[in-house]
A = this chain, B = another copy of it.
Amino acid sequence: MKRKIRMGMVGGGTGAFIGDVHRMAARLDGCIELVCGAFSSNPQKSKASGKALFLSADRVYNSYYEMFQQEAELPEGERMDFVSIVTPNHLHFEPAKLALQSGFHVVCDKPVTFDIEEAKELKKIINRKKMLFALTHNYTGYPMVKQAKAIVAAGKLGKIRRCIVEYPQGWLATRLEATGQKQADWRTDPTKSGKAGAMGDIGTHAENLLEYITGLQITHVCADLNTFVQGRQLDDDGAILLKLNNGAKATLLATQIAAGEENDLRIRVYGEKGGLDWSQMNPNTLLYRTLNKSLQVLRTGVGQQAKTTQAAIRIPAGHPEGFLEAFANIYKNFALTLDQHLEGKKIKALNLDFPTIDDGIRGMHFIDKVVESAASNKKWTKI
């Protein structure tokens, strides 16, 4: 790279959980520079956030449309290259669309949009304008997730038969949204979150992880969605039986009422010849089982690993890499791709390893069909 890639941000005023995460992830490798932002719909708050982030005042905007307009007028070499959109779900589409139309590439938090129509429209613009778009399904950024994908792709498990993916959290076991907690508030509000609650927030991560690792696609769902906490409008728990496009079967559990659980996303994949087991809370370990042999504990950076895995590792084995590093891998690959794009080079396959609008559309389809299935007496709903 000849220069740092320049990032703007929509949303993520100081104090917002996910805005900080995106910024730390973008900073980690030193190849992205935050140059501007519209951090809040409240101009005061946006200014204050920009100041706290050491931005010059003239690059902190009152609104994203102002930002896109004014940045577009800056000379190349100064204006932002892409924008990172870290607002609640219902506020993804408009800024993403406008950014793309204004010639800015986009990194967007997940789920990609409020509904599937919006997602499809974004895809059209992306394709038409040949823009880059990354969706932060960040769990695919972990080195051992990439290693799992590589093992499956290499056929080491044989044909996949049974998958189990689960994502238990406990933070919504009580009616947290009633206390004014901001994260809980919009996530449980159907006008902001979309038609699904837990299933949209974390179920889509599970769905994306399953398809990423196995290289398979979900074809049918049989969903049971629940709202256990009284007064809540959206699902806070759900379990799904799944069919995959090679004949394999899976279960997917996403719950936010598993009292006492932190963030225990876990996936197990079993094929004819072996199985894999990965847990987000112990992310540098990947259990690899084979028929009649000893369990192998694959570890970040130990032994021969796939190129995608190696590219996702920053420090030697035994020095734990965590959530932010995995998140940063999305940003790093996006930045490297964008750099090649801007330089007019052929983009390296290795750097294309980040989720795109297609993952976003799959996720919105998934939400749609899961909600449809949950309301149906029929066992299987096609996806």
| Residues of chain A having any CB pair with chain B under 8 Å | 1, 3-4, 17, 20-21, 23-24, 27-31, 34, 53-54, 157, 161-162, 164, 166, 168-171, 173-174, 222, 224, 226, 228, 237, 239, 241, 249, 251, 253, 255, 257-264, 268, 270-275, 280-284, 288-299, 302-303, 314-325, 376-380
Contact = CB atoms under 8 A, between A and B. Distances in A.
B323 A321 contact: yes
A294 B303 contact: yes
A170 B318 CA distance: 11
Contact of A264 (B161, B272, B283, B318): B318
21 contacts: A20-B314, A27-B30, A161-B226, A161-B228, A162-B226, A170-B291, A224-B241, A224-B249, A257-B270, A260-B290, A263-B316, A281-B318, A288-B294, A295-B297, A296-B296, A296-B297, A321-B322, A321-B323, A322-B322, A322-B324, A378-B379
Nearest 7 A-B pairs (CB), nearest first?
A260-B289, A262-B318, A263-B318, A322-B322, A320-B322, A319-B323, A295-B297
A166 B169 contact: no
Contacts of A3: 54
A311 B137 CA distance: 27
Contacts of A288: 294
**Integer count of this chain's copies in the complex:** 4
Nearest to A238: B249
Contacts of A303: 292-294
Contact of A320 (B226, B281, B293): B281
A241 B170 CA distance: 21
B237 A170 contact: no
Nearest to A302: B294
Nearest to A263: B318
A224 B222 contact: yes
A56 to B, nearest CB: 11
Nearest to A296: B294
A337 to B, nearest CB: 18
Contact of A251 (B17, B239, B376): B239
Nearest to A33: B54
A257 B320 contact: no
A331 B1 CA distance: 26
Contact of A260 (B222, B281, B291, B325): B291
A54 B237 CA distance: 47
Given A264-B318, A275-B261, A296-B295, A239 B249 contact: yes
A4 B33 CA distance: 14
Nearest to A52: B1
Contacts of A168: 268, 270
